[in-house]
Amino acid sequence: MYREFAELLQKKLILSPLSASDKKNPHGLASWLSLGTDNSTGGHTGYQGKYFDGSGTAYNVGTISSSASDKPRWASYYADHNGLMGDNLIDLLARATRKTHFMPTMIPVAVDKETPPSPFRYYTNDAVLGNLEALARKMDDNVGPDLAKYFGRILYKGIPFMYVDMLDSSDYSTIMGTDPIFGVNHDYFKVMVLRENDFVLSPPTRRDGSHNVLVVNLDVSFAVICENRQRAGFLIAQQ
């Protein structure tokens, strides 16, 4: 039950609500790091999020309007890779990390206490990871030591790419494009959980009147809050 519940929560943390009246689904990564209008080199053009309503209806993220002339600093960073996932993708990643200050300080050793883990992560799908792995192999003919050194993990500027299987699906293209890469600085994202629904297990009850089948409900209510859309990360995807 907990495993299936975790898979359900993963989708909720990434997707956007269905509409303005949707009170059950939070504003996930696709809301805060949204599709923008810059289709070449990338920029802070993710002015509005898109509802997961089948057509990607635009809305003001955090109820704050934003455009090129109206509070442009509220926009998130977006770049379109146009399906080109070779050197072009590396160039887009390089610029996105610079423009969003997505570069962790490298601390070789802890000074007086344990060094905390880096808050930076890339989340993407199988197609993007497959292309990046192919690029990594071409960089060095000696594949064996590379794979052993990095344990099969692809990194860019010391930050690992994490595979998220739901991003393989085209069902979410209206809100996050095709073959997305989410660069996420977790220091700027907060998950606020309602105390009364903090993974609360209810007592067992009979299911559909069956005397020998019991149901246990697990309830959680939460919201995803972004403190700074310009520094929270970026989205690179094909529109």
Beta carbons of 161 and 155 less than 8 angstroms apart? yes
80 or 206, greater pLDDT: 80
Angle between helices 87-99 and 126-139 (to 10 degrees): 100
- 98-123: b (≥16 Cβ within 10 Å) or e: ebbebeeeeeeeeeeeeeeebebbbb
Q: Is the confidence at residue 52, as pLDDT, over 50?
A: yes
The DSSP secondary structure of 44-86, one letter per residue, reads: EEE-SEE-SSSS--EE-GGG----SSS-GGGPEEEE--TT--S
Q: Hey, what's the torsion of the CAs at 233, 222, 162, 101, to 10 degrees?
A: 20
Both tokens of 125, joined, read 């799908």
Report the amino acid identity of residue 121.
R
Q: Is the confidence at residue 223, as pLDDT, over 70?
A: yes
Q: pLDDT band for 70, please (50, 70, 90 cuts).
A: very high
Both tokens of 51, joined, read 């509802």
Both tokens of 80, joined, read 């379109």
- For 99-119, write each residue's pLDDT tens digit: 998 876 655 454 555 555 678
Contacts of 191 by beta carbon, 8 Å cutoff, 6+ apart? 13, 222, 223, 224, 225
Query: Residue 148: what pLDDT?
Result: 45
Query: Residue 147: what pLDDT?
Result: 45
Q: Hey, what's the torsion of the CAs at 90, 92, 96, 97, to 10 degrees?
A: 10
- For 153-201, write each residue's pLDDT tens digit: 788 887 888 899 999 999 999 999 999 999 999 989 998 888 888 888 8
Query: Residue 142: what pLDDT?
Result: 59
Q: d(Cα 205, Cα 199) in Å, to the nearest integer?
A: 17
208 or 146, greater pLDDT: 208
